[in-house]
Amino acid sequence: MDVIVIGGGIAGVATAYHLRAAGHRVCVVERHATVAQGATYGQGGTVLPTPLDVWFGPTFMASRHSAKNGVIAKTGFNGPARQFVKQLAGLQEPQAFARQYALLRPLIESSREAMADVEARFGLEFEQASGLLYLVRAAHEWEQSAAALDLLRQFEVPHHVMTPAECAAFEHAVPTEPAFAAAVLFEHERTANCPLFTKLLKQVLDAQGGVQFMPGCEVSTIRLENGRASVELAPREPASRSREIEVIGADAVVVAAGYGSLALLERAGLRLPLYPLRLHALVAPIAHEECVPHVAMVDAVKRVGVSRMNQRLRIAGGAVLQSAGQIDKPLGDAVTKEALALLGQATHDWMPGAARISAALPWEGVKLLSPDGLPVIGNAVHPRLFVNAGHGPAGWGLACGAGKLVAELVSGQTPALAEDTLAALRPQRFQ
């Protein structure tokens, strides 16, 4: 089949890879000049989510203060945003949290296998590093993490719970003053450079053939007609407006356009209740080598992750929840400063002296969160239209598994994932 993938982020490129592996001819349409320029560019490095860092569950926004929960609710925060937070708050209840995580878990495992397969086949090097240390400051926050710890045990995820003293013995960069509650070490979990992986995977596809990349092209509309699907491209330059509209036809279209998926799908007749969340990242030069931890760290409650990539530290977090209608407008200096200050403070708190924050490069981007914590993957609206979006904070790790699932669905194969997980991922679940 001929398949168009809209979006050249990690979701789109991983989908193209799996579609090609399944024998299809693929065209990836990306509005930027190259791949990995959207949310994929700013990712924090954590490859696969654990119950401690999914963006739902008992610890998510448990405190109303941004300095404590890491999410800045911008004033003017409107009705739909409040409604969205209310829905996510429903997943703070441990059983609801466990249920959703159990549905996500098969996709996590499938992604782990799919990524290992790509690594083994092509020997890709994308700054992979092992070890993730989750740190929890206050005793009551540690208590709120109990449901996540139960899930780790239930799913037999290898981890070590550490007292502050054990943590300091393992990782000298972590100060024991002021006191903190506990740490959880995942020795086998990984961090890696997602934009680099995306670009390397594109190179693999370029070399193999069968996948055409169309950079600098924006899809304006998806057309769905009887047995075919096609996409209309927006005029590339204002001067070309008078020319005929460029249309590319295919047997199937996959929307993997990150935040851009919402508008495209809405025009195609599918309104998804995904919510755009702005996130920040700092890429800081290392200040003092001896202060840099040898594993990546995550402030588990403020949701700030710090991972080392060569001679830089990538610090990600500083979420801003605002009215969805404001998301395309500049955030404003005061809120940007507040978000970046959260990143700088978390780095200073957990690894003082490691990063030169004053020389860090800031970045901001938008990721899509879903109200039930799970991404949206599946067929929708028309037999030829497929969706792969809404991975929230875990798009890096889930991309390979999600791409494989889309390829199975497009090919008409029975997916390897269990039916309850497939149903929990389907776009129709919101209707």
Ligand X SMILES: Cc1cc2nc3c(=O)[nH]c(=O)nc-3n(C[C@H](O)[C@H](O)[C@H](O)COP(=O)(O)OP(=O)(O)OC[C@H]3O[C@@H](n4cnc5c(N)ncnc54)[C@H](O)[C@@H]3O)c2cc1C
Binding site for ligand X (CB under 6 A): 6-12, 29-32, 37-40, 42-46, 218-219, 256-258, 260, 264, 279, 281, 305, 316, 365, 367, 389, 391, 393-397
Between 37 and 100, name the residue whose CB sits nearer to ligand X: 37
Q: Are 393 and 48 in contact (CB under 8 A)?
A: no
Question: Min. distance of Cβ 179 from ligand X in angstroms?
Answer: 27
Contact between residue 315 and residue 281 where contact means Cβ atoms under 8 Å apart: yes
Residue 353 φ/ψ region, left for φ over 0, alpha for ψ in the -120 to 50 degree band, beta for the rest:
left
CB of 10 to ligand X, least distance (A): 5
Instruction: Quote the least distance from Cβ 323 to ligand X, whole Å.
Output: 18
Which of 206, 190, 346, 248 has the alpha carbon at shortest distance from 3?
248
State the minimum distance, in angstroms, from the CB of residue 172 to ligand X.
24
Q: Which is nearer to ligand X, 91 or 222 (CB)?
A: 222
d(CA 205, CA 126): 16
- Residue among 202 and 367 whose Cβ is closer to ligand X: 367
State in angstroms the smallest separation of the CB of 36 from ligand X: 7
Which of 61/282 has CB closer to ligand X? 282
Are 351 and 293 spatial neighbours (Cβ–Cβ below 8 Å)? yes
- DSSP designation for 235: P
Which residue matches tokens 């776009």?
427
CA gap 202, 262 in Å, rounded:
25
Tell me how far, at minimum, the Cβ of 191 lies from ligand X, in Å: 7
Which residue in the shown chain puts its C-beta closest to ligand X?
A: 395
Question: In Å, how far from its chain's centre is CA 202?
Answer: 19
Task: List Cβ neighbours of 100 (8 Å cut-off, separation of 6 or more).
Answer: 56, 91, 372, 373, 374, 424
Determine the residue type at 377: I
* CB closer to ligand X, 12 vs 415: 12
Nearer CB in complex with ligand X: 84/197: 197
